[in-house]
DNA sequence: CGCTATCATGTTAGCGCTACCATCGTTGTA
DNA sequence: TACAACGATGGTAGCGCTAACATGATAGCG
């Protein structure tokens, strides 16, 4: 005797639903729902029955349905320009640790330094009813800003400080550039080359250069800039060193846009038998472990990347929990690490 | 004159819905849906009207609702044990590039080398009606296997080859261990130390050690193992070198479990004024760029990580598109890179 | 000209869950 | 003893979308 109804059959997995759990536990679906999502709102004994039924049936909640019904998912959209750069990975780690501990799931998007791609990603992510958005950087396309203007969930911009859409956690890259330039001047250098790679994408390197130039010009020095187009950073650093050696006017120190470039140069100097800082002083940015393991140790600026992710996540969570957290900026600062390379 | 109905009001965002788009375009919701998701099933003119309405209203599809209704999301669950290790990042990049190009969204989970955590993540991900699951590695808890046994979507296990649940793309780590051991024997070494770090989590290093030991024992040599517990890999490598220098019986070569350790040792040898390979030969695994920039260049084994991710994604996509792709293994192989460090 | 094939569109009924309101005891308080 | 307050549970109605089936118009054929 079949119990097939004559109603239209619908796709639908074989997975047990909350209704079946509820039936098995002898309660209504809504009580079963509460037993799982708001334990304090049901009697302890009832809850135990529901949990037993869940276990026995191997029930897995359909989060799509739950999110649709409640109009909020526990997704956090995280958008970074690249995964190839350790810096973003560390920020993501900080975000992930903190968000996952609170039951949020990260939706990771990668723009490849393309603001149109960012717009597309954000559109998709809005479609998933994300609870919040975290993006690396303050630069967005107009379309993107328009899209976000009508969005009422928290937006967190990390990495640099500035005119933010909502929440903002980062550090002052211009000041970091000034800081290193001052250090190099203090070491007696007057002919300092700034070397970056693909700075159109990595515009924060451009901000550091701005600070660098400002300080050098105030001191009456030139601030030549060399921009490379390499993909492998270590190779680019090596090339940067070569080009500096033949730079018209002579160069005594290189301020690299990051530690990868700087380390590439340092290792290349070793191969070539050049003395650092005797023949050429070398400085970087980021404070990666690698730079502290080479000889001489790299002078660099350490940014608290993982901490930046954590702090950003904490701020977002606070905002999600208690409606009104003031729009605020958090400067996580940086630290000059003086090695023997300058 | 208000047009508020007296029906119960429900939460619900202010976002326009497909129904409003359909009204604006003068069609039924299903036609609007088709215009967006199956353009070929709708008259070109009608479609243009719908797209105009979408544009004008700033409509963003609610993907939760769509996925719930169709019982399939375009999510791909990707589970890795750690983000701190470049190796996984590169695999993720390969996956992401390929999947995103096909309109899939990656849900990234990080187990921290904990199989219980993996189980929890997979449970959650199943709740999102993922289209497929990609996990790093073949080792899972029993609970996890039980959960996946009743799951009818593609499962892809990457990194190593072996007894897989479904699809499998990776390389033979035991053979890689043998390969390096043979190389070191060929260089005349008879006292070779294998150095790994936290190998309980990084069990693939254990597989390489197994191959390494097999070859050495066949050659009548001991195969001592040193396992370190450091977090910073470069530091651990330095310590590995120190410990090898005082190892009872004498050691002439170190086979490190990865390039980070090996490079740490190499840089430490430089600082300490030791000759490599004269005082100690050093070998690694992974083929990271870093190892090729130090002097002497590191002997290592290069694994095609990004390619592994791409290939895995392609296989999954094929399976998703045309129901029956045979359960198959793909060996992506590896390549011995001989530097001057051995 | 009647018949089927094809295309474009519409109607209906959910997908599985939770918000909202209602109900029914059981207490505590005046 | 009456009444508010509260705690536990349930009924109903959607969340916004799409699968499945239905319909009507047009084309193609002998």
3-state secondary structure chain A: CCCCCCCCCCCCCCCCCHHHHHHHHCCCHHHHHHHHHCHHHCCHHHHHHHHHHHHHHCCCCCHHHHHHHHCCCCEEEEEECCCCCHHHHHHHHHHHHHHHHCCCEEEEEECCCCHHHHHHHHHHHHHCCCCEEEEECCCCCHHHHHHHHCCCCCEEEEEECCCCCCEEEEECHHHHHHHHHHHHHHCCCCCEEEEEECCCCCHHHHHHHHHHHHHHHHCCCCCCEEEECCCCHHHHHHHHHHHHHCCCCCCCEEEECCHHHHHHHHHHHHHHCCCCCCCCEEECCECCHHHHCCCCCCEEEECCHHHHHHHHHHHHHHHHHCCCCCCCEEECCCEEECCCCC
CB-to-strand D under 7 Å, chain B 59-98: 59, 61-62, 65-66, 68-70
The distance (Å) linking the CA of B50 with the C1' of C2 is 37
| pLDDT of B324 | 66
Q: Flag whether residue A85 sits within 8 Å of chain B, measured between CB atoms.
A: no
The distance (Å) linking the CA of B54 with the C1' of C9 is 19
pLDDT tens readout for residues A310-342: 999 999 999 998 756 676 899 999 999 999 999
Q: Quick check: B63 and A124 CB within 8 A?
A: yes
Q: Mutation test of the interface with chain B: which of A230, A269, A292, A293, choosing the one with the most B Cβ atoms within 10 A? A: A293
Q: Flag whether residue B9 sits within 8 Å of chain A, measured between CB atoms.
A: no
Q: Strand B192-197 relative to strand B155-160: parallel, antiparallel, unpaired? A: unpaired
Largest CA distance in chain A: 96
Half-sphere exposure of B41 (CA within 13 A, CB side): 9
Distance from CA of A216 to the nearest CA of B (A): 32
Q: Is the CB of B43 under 7 A from strand D?
A: no
Domain A74-171+306-332 has CATH 3.30.1240.10: no
Nearest to B289 among A96, A128, A232 (CB): A232
Nearest to B105 among A100, A107, A294 (CB): A107
| pLDDT of A238 | 95
Q: Quick check: B290 and A234 CB within 8 A?
A: yes
Nearest to A127 among B62, B129, B271 (CB): B62
Q: Quick check: B62 and A234 CB within 8 A?
A: no
Nearest to B128 among A64, A93, A268 (CB): A64
Q: Grade residue B10 by pLDDT with cuts at 50, 70 and 90.
A: low
Question: Which of A157, A119, A115 minimizes the C-alpha distance to A136?
Answer: A157
Is residue B65's pLDDT more than 60? yes
Q: Is the CB of B9 under 7 A from strand D?
A: no
Q: Tell me B298's DSSP state.
A: P
> Distance between CA B22 and CA B49 in Å, rounded?
9
Is residue A75's pLDDT more than 80? yes
Q: Is the CB of B33 under 7 A from strand D?
A: yes
Is residue B4's pLDDT more than 80? no
Question: Which of B204, B201, B275 minimizes the C-alpha distance to B245?
Answer: B275
| pLDDT of A12 | 57
At residue B242, the 3 state secondary structure works out as helix
Nearest to A11 among B71, B105, B147 (CB): B71
Q: Quick check: A126 and B293 CB within 8 A?
A: no
Q: Do domains B72-170+306-331 and B173-302 have the same CATH topology?
A: yes
| Two tokens, residue A51 | 């949990």
CATH class of domain segment(s) B18-61: mainly alpha
Q: Mutation test of the interface with chain A: which of B60, B146, B295, choosing the one with the most A Cβ atoms within 10 A? A: B60
| Two tokens, residue B204 | 């693939």
Q: Which residues 217-236 of chain A have a CB within 8 Å of chain B? A: 232, 234-235
Distance from CA of B295 to the nearest CA of A (A): 6
Is residue B8's pLDDT more than 80? no
- C-beta neighbour count of B306 within 10 angstroms: 17
Contact yes or no for B308/B292 (Cβ under 8 A):
no
Q: Quick check: B64 and A290 CB within 8 A?
A: no
Q: Which residues 30-69 of chain A have a CB within 8 Å of chain B? A: 58, 60-65, 67-68
Distance from CA of B269 to the nearest CA of A (A): 11
| pLDDT of A1 | 31
Q: Which residues 146-185 of chain B have a CB within 8 Å of chain A? A: 147, 150
Is residue A48's pLDDT more than 50? yes
**Which segment of A103-107, B220-224, B230-234, B333-337 scores lowest on mean pLDDT?**
B230-234
Q: Grade residue B6 by pLDDT with cuts at 50, 70 and 90.
A: very low
Residues of A within 8 A of B230 (CB-CB) are: none
| pLDDT of A15 | 85
| pLDDT of B323 | 58
| pLDDT of A4 | 34
Q: Quick check: A289 and B128 CB within 8 A?
A: no
Q: Quick check: B129 and A62 CB within 8 A?
A: yes
Contact yes or no for B228/B203 (Cβ under 8 A):
no
pLDDT tens readout for residues B110-128: 999 999 999 999 999 999 9
Q: Flag whether residue B77 sits within 8 Å of chain A, measured between CB atoms.
A: no
Q: Flag whether residue B124 sits within 8 Å of chain A, measured between CB atoms.
A: yes
Is residue A2's pLDDT more than 50? no
- Which residue lies nearest C13, CA-to-C1' measured? A8
Q: Quick check: A63 and B106 CB within 8 A?
A: no
pLDDT mean over B147-158:
92
| pLDDT of B272 | 93
Q: Flag whether residue B96 sits within 8 Å of chain A, measured between CB atoms.
A: yes
> Distance between CA A128 and CA B33 in Å, rounded?
17
| Nearest nucleotide from residue B25 CA, by C1' atom | C9
At residue B319, the 3 state secondary structure works out as helix
CATH class of domain segment(s) A173-302: alpha beta
| pLDDT of A322 | 74
pLDDT mean over A63-77:
93
Question: Which of A53, A55, A27 minimizes the C-alpha distance to A41?
Answer: A27
What residue segments make up the domains of chain A, in order of their start? Answer: 18-61, 74-171+306-332, 173-302
CATH class of domain segment(s) B72-170+306-331: alpha beta
Residues of B within 8 A of A11 (CB-CB) are: 70-71
């Amino acid at each position: 005797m079949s119990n097939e109804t004559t109603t239209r059959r619908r796709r639908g997995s074989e997975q047990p639903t909350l209704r079946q759990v509820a039936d098995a536990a002898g309660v209504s679906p809504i009580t079963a729902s509460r037993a799982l999502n708001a334990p304090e709102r049901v009697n302890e004994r009832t809850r135990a029955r529901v949990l037993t039924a869940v276990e026995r049936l191997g029930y897995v909640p359909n989060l799509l349905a739950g999110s649709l019904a409640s109009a909020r998912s526990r997704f956090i959209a995280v958008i970074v320009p690249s995964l190839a750069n350790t810096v973003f990975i560390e920020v993501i780690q900080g975000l992930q640790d903190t968000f996952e501990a609170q039951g949020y799931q990260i939706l990771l998007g990668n723009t490849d330094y393309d603001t149109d791609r960012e717009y597309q990603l954000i559109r998709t992510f809005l479609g998933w009813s994300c609870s919040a958005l975290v993006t690396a950087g303050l630069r967005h396309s107009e379309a993107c800003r328009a899209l976000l203007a009508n969005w009422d969930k928290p937006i967190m911009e990390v990495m640099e400080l500035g005119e933010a859409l909502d929440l903002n956690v980062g550090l002052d890259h211009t000041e970091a550039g000034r800081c290193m330039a001052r250090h190099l001047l203090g070491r007696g250098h007057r002919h300092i080359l700034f070397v970056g790679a693909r700075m159109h994408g990595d515009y924060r390197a451009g901000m550091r250069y701005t600070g660098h130039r400002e300080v050098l010009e105030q001191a009456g020095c030139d601030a030549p800039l060399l921009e490379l187009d390499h993909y492998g950073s270590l190779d680019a650093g090596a090339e940067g060193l070569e080009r500096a050696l033949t730079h018209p006017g002579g160069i005594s120190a290189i301020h690299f846009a990051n530690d990868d470039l700087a380390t590439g140069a340092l290792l290349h100097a070793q191969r070539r038998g050049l003395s650092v800082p005797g023949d050429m002083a070398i400085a970087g940015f980021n404070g990666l472990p690698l730079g502290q393991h080479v000889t001489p140790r790299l002078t660099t600026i350490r940014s608290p990347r993982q901490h930046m992710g954590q702090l950003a996540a904490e701020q977002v969570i606070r905002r999600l929990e208690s409606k009104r957290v003031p729009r605020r900026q958090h400067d996580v600062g940086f630290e000059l690490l003086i090695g023997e390379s300058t």
